[in-house]
Amino acid sequence: MNYYSLNKKAPNVSFKDAVIKGLAPDKGLYFPESITPLAKGFFNHIEYFTNNEIAYEVMKQFVGDEIPEKELKKIIAETLVFDFPVVEIEKNISTLELFHGPTMAFKDVGARFMARCFGYFNKDKNTTKVTVLVATSGDTGGAVASGFLGVEGVEVVILYPSGKVSDVQEKQLTTLGKNIKALEVNGTFDDCQAMVKKAFLDSEITSTKNLTSANSINVARWLPQMIYFFIAYKQLQNKRRKVVFSVPSGNFGNICAGIMAQQLGLPVKQFIAATNINDIVPNYLETGVYTPKPSQQTISNAMDVGDPSNFIRIQEIYKNDDSLLKQHLTSYSFTDKETKKAMVKINKKSGYIADPHGAVGYLGLKKYFKKKKAQGIFLETAHPVKFLDVVEPVLNKTIEFPAQIQEVMNKKKVAIKISKYDELKQFLLKS
């Protein structure tokens, strides 16, 4: 399997090179040359496969012969060390819980898979040391920090917006030490992402540093997210009814992975990209005009993105045919007030405690179901404990800290404060 740049001005590369480079030399995102649907028999008997077996079938064509079968199966086994339960909330609506990993966020899957791919590629220690440079709006930082901690030949530098991530999220990315460095940026997530992109374009840095990204722009972070859509389907009692997935969406990597799963044959009726007031994609689907704008801060901070990087991949899947795209993708935006009301409603109806992102996903299903009926699953992308300052006052409940959160909360935060790109540049050149 080779990968091509969506800017179409760079040579095609192997899976290994796509992972290590992150971005193509022309600064385009990498995309697989082909997508081969899985056999129908696989779906007909999916409940008889283990999660690891499902993951191997899903991932093997995208890795190709870059990683031997035995090693790929080992990487998958070390990635999927937690469960992905589908929990019923009300009639025709369930949630897929993606927060049972070490940092209690859906990004644990992609980060663990990607880190282990790097570990395999660096196993002979002849590979040039890699600097993973990543911007986070919340959960990416912690997941990447956890996934790459102690990986040989890899240094991780995480940029996060000061005061715009939760206390738990900040602790998860600033307390690990070793090969993990955190930079606290005086600005928004968009400012962090702009700095990262500028660094990738800076020849003074790239001539001395082997930079790559661990955001969902990297194929090894993005593609493994297909796996849990298959695992959710495996758990459905009635597989004759097509399912609708509502995905809380910020940078659009997660929903793009879901759409890739559909391309592999997963029988999904519709995808709903549920956003907060950062409504670039809902506006695009309504007007046909894609207009990035500065992100606005909300209680669902992981979705505070004003220019979603992965939407171009979704357009590529549908060959830039908007009419075809709209047949498979619906997008709605919701305010913080609507999100809080949804959190209360979910809790009163079922006793379930949803985090703000999951509540936005729930709202997406409810709005879609006003016009069409189906069985729906919204993604609960992070444990509510990561958003205590929102969840506890909204629900008037106290949430106990799970063990993996207690572990980091007592550790000391270590972060370097920066305000402008030149400070990032100097840090990278000196480190």
Q: What residues are annotated to the active site?
A: 107
CA 10/CA 28 separation, integer angstroms: 8
| Token digits of residue 319 | 């060959």
Task: Give alpha helix (H) positions in 223-335.
Answer: 227-235, 253-263, 280-287, 311-317, 322-328
Q: Which residues pair with 181 in a beta bridge?
A: 157
CA 256/CA 238 separation, integer angstroms: 25
Q: What angle do CA 393, 108, 41 make, to 5 degrees?
A: 115
Cβ–Cβ < 8 Å for 143, 134: no
Helix (H) / strand (E) containing 305:
none
CA 42/CA 57 separation, integer angstroms: 9
**Among candidate residues 175, 209, 115, the one with its CA nearest the CA of residue 406:** 175
CA 239/CA 241 separation, integer angstroms: 5
Sign of CA dihedral 225, 231, 236, 240: positive
Cβ–Cβ < 8 Å for 75, 108: no
Task: Provide the strand spans (E) within 291-386.
Answer: 329-333, 375-380
Cβ–Cβ < 8 Å for 303, 248: yes
